[in-house]
């Protein structure tokens, strides 16, 4: 069933005669159901022409003593009631043939003066197949997709011009047309293309999909359509660092909402000029949203930084915890890059023992995303077999939201350590036993000198929940601590030139230093433990 009614005839004829395509005519007539847009373009054009034939006949029959047929044809081509005179090039876009049908004067496709061809050839199966070929060649793994399009900003200007034209004509009939009454170009485009993409690729279109196919359109011929707006509404067009042009769609729409109708009409033709060529496709992009892998790592080396150790562009050590884990993940997930995060960090000379430290890795634009639990186990084993400096456990796929549990633990949870302490004075077992009785000791730590280059200067209050000592000899003892997360253990031992108060040295009234430090546990119950 043809979607237009008798009420729409005058507007449809007006738009068609000024160079507007059938689908844009549907949009301006408020056709908001999908089926009519999805029909092949040539069928739509033929049906629209048949629908409008009666409009032409009515125009002719209204004239008393109608002239001979040849003269009538000439008058129609010149534009009865001045309709065709609205076309900027002075030529009617539509003419009546001798058999009474309406046809374009050009045998080739007349490019729509509103959508610039977007709702013409870029909705047809041939174009969709080209996009799908690019998608299939991209090598991404996906079970659904979201399809997005970026249209040239001048389309908003052209739509505004066509709206003013139609609004003026409808006003003569005491009818109104609001901007919101027009079906959005992007909506109509998706109504047409989504079923075609699903059919061609065999997967559903899902707005929540992590896999995105985007098509970016441009139209160099009409790129200056927006420029007059900057002179009238300069506040709408402010340069932005991440934008190549000030004429963004948002800026153009903002200006169109501010500009007065009479000012717009003075600067831009209503209806808009008919272009010579359709839009061009600047880019067809495929991208997959990040996926996240989490686990816990043990670090057994005292010569391994958590992240690459580079100073003034020079690499100090050949590897890091981050790289020993991430290199394997990058290869298997076929990702472009990664971001590593963890629940705290240990120094290069500190081991992490016990159940390990929670970590998460964001894999950016991965091409492979579907793994069985067995494949993840095998990946974990591969990481563990590749180095004796680290081991990974509980490796699993997680959501972005779940990583918040790890970050909560950085400040709120407790951590346990063991340290080998040296004293400058000889000690006996009884000299250190008092430390065992201290509970929930509050200390003030000024930002340590060794991290001042990357941390703001501040005094942080931390709690030493408990301590336990084990005597070794007259200058050494083991100290086991349970502390608030975020405590600088080395500085608690040696005092950092008085920047941490109190400290082990001040409590014992002697000089103390730390020779070895191990992280025994990070009390964050995340990620969930997995069966071996």
Q: Report the run of H or E that residue 265 belongs to, with start and end.
A: helix 261-267
Give the pLDDT confidence score for residue 105 in this predicted structure.
37
Neighbours of 234 (CB within 10 A): 11
Give the pLDDT confidence score for residue 314 in this predicted structure.
87
Q: What SS3 state is found at 326?
A: helix
Structure tokens at 377: 């186990």
Give the pLDDT confidence score for residue 63 in this predicted structure.
39
Tokens 């909705």 found at: 123
Give the pLDDT confidence score for residue 148 in this predicted structure.
95
CA distance 360 to 491: 28
Helices (H) and strands (E) in the chain, counts: 17, 17
Cβ atoms of residues 438 and 515 within 8 Å: no
CA distance 267 to 279: 23
Question: Percent of the chain scored above 70 by pLDDT?
Answer: 89
Neighbours of 34 (CB within 10 A): 14
- Mark the ranges of the chain whose per-residue pLDDT is less than 70: 54-108, 409-411, 532
CA distance 41 to 124: 8
- Based on the residue annotation, tell me whether 473 is a catalytic residue of this protein: no
Give the pLDDT confidence score for residue 100 in this predicted structure.
33
Give bridge partners of residue 416 from the DSSP assignment.
Answer: 482, 521
| Angle 96-101-104 from CA coordinates, rounded to 5° | 60
Cβ atoms of residues 415 and 500 within 8 Å: no
DSSP code, position 427: -
- CB-based contacts of 72: which residues, under 8 Å, 6+ apart? 60, 66
Catalytic residue among 32, 263, 347, 523: 347
| Angle 32-37-41 from CA coordinates, rounded to 5° | 155
Q: Report the run of H or E that residue 267 belongs to, with start and end.
A: helix 261-267
Give bridge partners of residue 95 from the DSSP assignment.
Answer: 103
Report CA-CA distances (Å) from 490 to 231, 309, 405, 493, 503.
63, 20, 27, 5, 10
Give the pLDDT confidence score for residue 225 in this predicted structure.
95
Structure tokens at 59: 């125009």
E strand map for 424-529: 439-446, 459-473, 476-484, 500-501, 512-522
Cβ atoms of residues 341 and 332 within 8 Å: no
Residue 141 Cα to chain centre, angstroms: 18
Q: Beta strands 459-473 and 310-311: pairing type?
A: unpaired
Q: Terminal CA-to-CA distance of the chain, rounded, Å?
A: 63
Neighbours of 39 (CB within 10 A): 13
CA distance 376 to 397: 8
Give bridge partners of residue 145 from the DSSP assignment.
Answer: 205
Tens of pLDDT, residue by residue over 415-450, are 999 999 999 999 999 999 999 999 999 999 999 999
- Give me the phi and psi of 362, to 5 degrees please: -90, 120
Give the pLDDT confidence score for residue 108 in this predicted structure.
52
């Amino acid at each position: 069933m043809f979607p237009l009614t008798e009420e729409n005839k005058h507007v449809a004829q007006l738009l068609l005669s000024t160079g507007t395509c059938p689908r844009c005519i549907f949009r301006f007539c408020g056709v908001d159901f999908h089926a009519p847009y999805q029909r092949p373009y040539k069928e739509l054009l033929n049906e629209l022409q048949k629908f409008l034939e009666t409009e032409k006949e009515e125009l002719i029959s209204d004239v008393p003593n109608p002239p001979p047929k040849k003269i009538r044809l000439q008058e129609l081509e010149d534009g009865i009631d001045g309709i065709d005179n609205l076309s900027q090039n002075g030529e009617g876009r539509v003419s009546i043939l001798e058999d009474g049908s309406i046809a374009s004067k050009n045998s080739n496709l007349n490019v729509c003066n509103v959508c610039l061809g977007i709702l013409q050839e870029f909705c047809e199966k041939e174009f969709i197949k080209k996009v799908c070929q690019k998608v299939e060649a991209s090598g991404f793994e996906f079970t659904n997709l979201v399809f997005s399009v970026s249209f040239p900003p001048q389309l908003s200007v052209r739509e505004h011009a066509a709206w003013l034209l139609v609004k003026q004509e409808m006003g003569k009939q005491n009818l109104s047309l609001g901007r919101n009454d027009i079906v959005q170009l992007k909506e109509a485009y998706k109504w047409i293309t989504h079923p075609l993409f699903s059919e061609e690729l065999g997967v559903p279109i899902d707005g929540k999909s992590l896999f995105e196919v985007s098509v970016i359109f441009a139209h160099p011929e009409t790129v200056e359509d927006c420029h007059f707006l900057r002179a009238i509404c300069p506040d709408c067009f402010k340069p932005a660092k991440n934008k190549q042009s000030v004429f963004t769609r948002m800026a153009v729409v903002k200006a169109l909402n501010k500009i007065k109708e009479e000012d717009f009409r003075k600067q831009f033709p209503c209806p808009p000029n008919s272009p010579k060529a359709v839009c061009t496709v600047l880019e067809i992009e495929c991208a997959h949203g990040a996926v996240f892998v989490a686990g816990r790592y043990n670090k057994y080396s005292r010569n391994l930084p958590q992240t690459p150790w580079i100073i003034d562009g020079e690499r100090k050590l050949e590897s890091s915890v981050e790289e020993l884990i991430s290199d394997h993940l990058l290869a298997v997930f076929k990702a472009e890059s990664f971001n590593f995060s963890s629940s705290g960090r240990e120094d290069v000379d500190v081991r992490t023992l016990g159940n390990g430290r929670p970590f998460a890795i964001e894999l950016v634009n991965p091409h492979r995303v579907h793994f069985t639990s067995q494949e993840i186990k095998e990946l974990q084993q591969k990481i563990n077999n590749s180095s004796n400096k680290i081991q990974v456990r509980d490796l699993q796929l997680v959501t972005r939201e779940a990583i918040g549990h790890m970050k909560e633990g950085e400040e709120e949870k407790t951590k346990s350590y063991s340290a080998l302490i040296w004293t400058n004075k000889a000690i006996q077992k009884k000299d250190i036993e008092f430390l065992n009785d201290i509970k929930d000791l509050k200390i003030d730590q000024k930002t340590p000198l060794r991290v001042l280059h990357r941390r703001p200067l501040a005094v942080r209050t931390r709690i030493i929940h408990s301590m336990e000592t084990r005597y070794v000899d007259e200058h050494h003892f083991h100290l086991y601590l349970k502390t608030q997360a975020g405590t600088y253990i080395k500085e608690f031992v040696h005092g950092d030139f008085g920047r941490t108060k109190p400290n082990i040295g001040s409590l014992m009234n002697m000089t103390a230093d730390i020779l070895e430090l191990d992280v025994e546990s990070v009390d964050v119950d995340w990620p969930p433990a997995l069966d071996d």
